[in-house]
A and B are shown apart, each in its own frame.
Chain A
């Protein structure tokens, strides 16, 4: 861990954050808005990577955790008019509870079955939103009266700060002894258990941490958008984007996941002139990376550094 503060990765990340922090002084509000969303997405992807890359559990439903956080915060604000920060906090806590409820039975099953349980959770949440349309706004979306701020620069800094802090905590966690136990139990649960580690406890903890950050980020995102809808925080397609981001950036690197998310969103925007082909091109690039650079962006960079 101490070695990290002198490593090249640390200085590169620090430089990136510092450069990113100065962006509001010379780029347009449009780019800031794009990056704000990308940063929140980065947190989704990092939280997912903690679960997959380290605990070895394929969570097909990251949007279940994101959606519960986002909708709880949005509904509380919409129904009771509570302050934004209280709503965000409660949203994150609701997401933790949801993650706990989902993880307890889901962790009993493995591999594809775990993936399916999480996927079903998303479909259930989606149905819930549509069926209880009075409360959730249904397919049109939930209107949220309050926003954190309308200043594009301030929103951008909040998102950047939130992503940086989350990245520091998640990365620190992944490199800590707890992270190592998680990695061991992901790769060989029997052996890790035989060494005396409580695997279920560790995986549950990973799930809760992942849920906390997903929910927090989801809640912040809806207060940035001013609306919560199935299409932006619950849909399976959003979850797919989160997973693709993490694999693209490099699984088991945490920081790479954020990189992948930013790439995915910015590339999608740059390709907007190509119209309907934008998603096709992004998916094709992602598929090529999966096939030829399975380590992802950061994985490829790190392994080159390790070799030289």
Chain B
């Protein structure tokens, strides 16, 4: 009974984590950028979806779409206003660009967080779910929304897989992550590929954010923990490895759910952190990472 409950809840949480972390790892794999404003973009999407319903009185579908659109806009803003200027800067030595991108996106994330807190307060916001009601799965009462979340996450990740492996644009993205110089030699514009990747990232983060808003609710305080969880999932799976982060998302999601149910919700994040430390010591490149 409880085992089934853990299985179902853990799956929904893990799928959501996986969706959130996929975009993050994609950007790192292709352009070497660790985007520390990730949590802020997800929260911005959720808050936009919430505001669409409660301030603009739109229906839930338009609200969700608006949320994803906002995430896309913010993701582009992150790339064009913060990441690109740092990457193109001549005054920053190449070996230090990584830390500047980290600091820049971190500050950018704090700015978004503060703006959200200023205009929409710090209160937790729950987006109205698209599907409502509860179903009974072998005696476990499960909100339909939870099942919906899991299905959408899996569908989107599946679509992403098709996009990356089966389309021309996707293959260019994949090639750029393997060898940027090679791609340029083949006559593909690298900056165009980056824009495509940031667009994919924005949509993924937006969907993940809106679903999170429906499933658990968000507040401007969730920005830091969301970024941290995406970061640790991605490192656990191996930076830049999409399949690695999918596995890691499920490991972390289930570890957290099991701890919350069997030990105490207060210790929820501790086993995942311990696992992360152990993996860092034994296998610093992550589960499926390349050195």
Q: In the bound complex, what is the Cα–Cα distance between A290 and B270 (angstroms)?
A: 34
Stretch at the interface among A174-182, A210-218, A274-282: A274-282
What is the CB-to-nearest-CB distance from B76 to chain A, in angstroms, rounded to a whole number? 17
In the complex, are the beta carbons of A287 and B104 less than 8 A apart? yes
In the complex, are the beta carbons of A120 and B266 less than 8 A apart? no
In the complex, are the beta carbons of B91 and A295 less than 8 A apart? yes
Q: In the bound complex, what is the Cα–Cα distance between A58 and B82 (angstroms)?
A: 20
Contact for A291 among B86, B231, B281, B284, CB less than 8 A: B86
In the complex, are the beta carbons of B111 and A109 less than 8 A apart? no
In the complex, are the beta carbons of B99 and A283 less than 8 A apart? no
> Does A3 lie at the interface of the complex (its beta carbon under 8 Å from any beta carbon of B)?
no
In the complex, are the beta carbons of B108 and A287 less than 8 A apart? yes
Closest B-chain residue to A113, C-beta based?
Answer: B284
In the complex, are the beta carbons of B99 and A294 less than 8 A apart? no
**B side interface size, CB within 8 A:** 42
Q: In the bound complex, what is the Cα–Cα distance between A287 and B110 (angstroms)?
A: 10
> Does A199 lie at the interface of the complex (its beta carbon under 8 Å from any beta carbon of B)?
no
What is the CB-to-nearest-CB distance from B170 to chain A, in angstroms, rounded to a whole number? 25
In the complex, are the beta carbons of B107 and A109 less than 8 A apart? no
> Does B117 lie at the interface of the complex (its beta carbon under 8 Å from any beta carbon of A)?
yes
Interface centre among B86, B110, B228 (most CB of A within 10 A): B110
Bitwise interface map of B from 72 to 107 toward A, beta carbon under 8 Å scored 1, else 0: 000000000010011001011001101110111011
Within 8 A of B (CB), among A288-307: 290-291, 294-295
Contact for A279 among B108, B110, B224, B231, CB less than 8 A: B110
Q: In the bound complex, what is the Cα–Cα distance between A60 and B100 (angstroms)?
A: 13
In the complex, are the beta carbons of B110 and A240 less than 8 A apart? yes
> Does A243 lie at the interface of the complex (its beta carbon under 8 Å from any beta carbon of B)?
yes
Within 8 A of A (CB), among B32-79: 34
Q: In the bound complex, what is the Cα–Cα distance between A295 and B90 (angstroms)?
A: 12
In the complex, are the beta carbons of A290 and B280 less than 8 A apart? no
Closest A-chain residue to B101, C-beta based?
Answer: A290
**B231 proximity list for chain A (CB < 8 A):** 116, 119
What is the CB-to-nearest-CB distance from A238 to chain B, in angstroms, rounded to a whole number? 12
Contact for B269 among A127, A236, A279, A291, CB less than 8 A: A127
In the complex, are the beta carbons of A237 and B224 less than 8 A apart? yes
In the complex, are the beta carbons of A294 and B273 less than 8 A apart? no
**B273 proximity list for chain A (CB < 8 A):** 120, 123-124, 127
In the complex, are the beta carbons of A243 and B103 less than 8 A apart? yes
> Does A31 lie at the interface of the complex (its beta carbon under 8 Å from any beta carbon of B)?
no
**B269 proximity list for chain A (CB < 8 A):** 123, 127
Contact for A120 among B114, B224, B267, B277, CB less than 8 A: B277
What is the CB-to-nearest-CB distance from A122 to chain B, in angstroms, rounded to a whole number? 10
Within 8 A of B (CB), among A111-162: 111-113, 115-117, 119-120, 123-124, 127, 130-131
Instruction: Tell me the dominant secondary structure on chain B's binding face.
Output: helix
Interface centre among A105, A111, A187, A287 (most CB of B within 10 A): A287
> Does B239 lie at the interface of the complex (its beta carbon under 8 Å from any beta carbon of A)?
yes
In the complex, are the beta carbons of A112 and B34 less than 8 A apart? yes
> Does A170 lie at the interface of the complex (its beta carbon under 8 Å from any beta carbon of B)?
no
Contact for A284 among B111, B232, B266, CB less than 8 A: B111
> Does A201 lie at the interface of the complex (its beta carbon under 8 Å from any beta carbon of B)?
no
**B280 proximity list for chain A (CB < 8 A):** 105, 109, 113, 116-117, 120
In the complex, are the beta carbons of A276 and B117 less than 8 A apart? yes
Closest B-chain residue to A56, C-beta based?
Answer: B95
> Does B118 lie at the interface of the complex (its beta carbon under 8 Å from any beta carbon of A)?
yes
With A279-B110, A283-B110 known as contacts, the answer to whether A290 contacts B276 (CB < 8 A) is no
> Does B197 lie at the interface of the complex (its beta carbon under 8 Å from any beta carbon of A)?
no
**A276 proximity list for chain B (CB < 8 A):** 114, 117-118
With A117-B277, A120-B280, A123-B273 known as contacts, the answer to whether A244 contacts B100 (CB < 8 A) is no
**A247 proximity list for chain B (CB < 8 A):** 99-100, 103
Contact for A240 among B106, B117, B274, CB less than 8 A: B106
Q: What are the 8 closest A-B residue pairs judged by CB atoms, nearest first?
A: A280-B114, A109-B284, A287-B107, A283-B110, A294-B92, A283-B107, A283-B111, A276-B118
Instruction: Apart from A127-B269, A244-B107, list 7 A-B contacts with CB within 8 A.
Output: A113-B235, A116-B280, A119-B228, A120-B232, A120-B277, A247-B99, A283-B111
Could you jot down 16 A-B contacts, CB within 8 Å? A105-B281, A108-B284, A109-B284, A113-B284, A116-B276, A117-B277, A124-B274, A131-B266, A131-B270, A187-B95, A276-B114, A280-B114, A283-B108, A284-B107, A290-B100, A294-B100
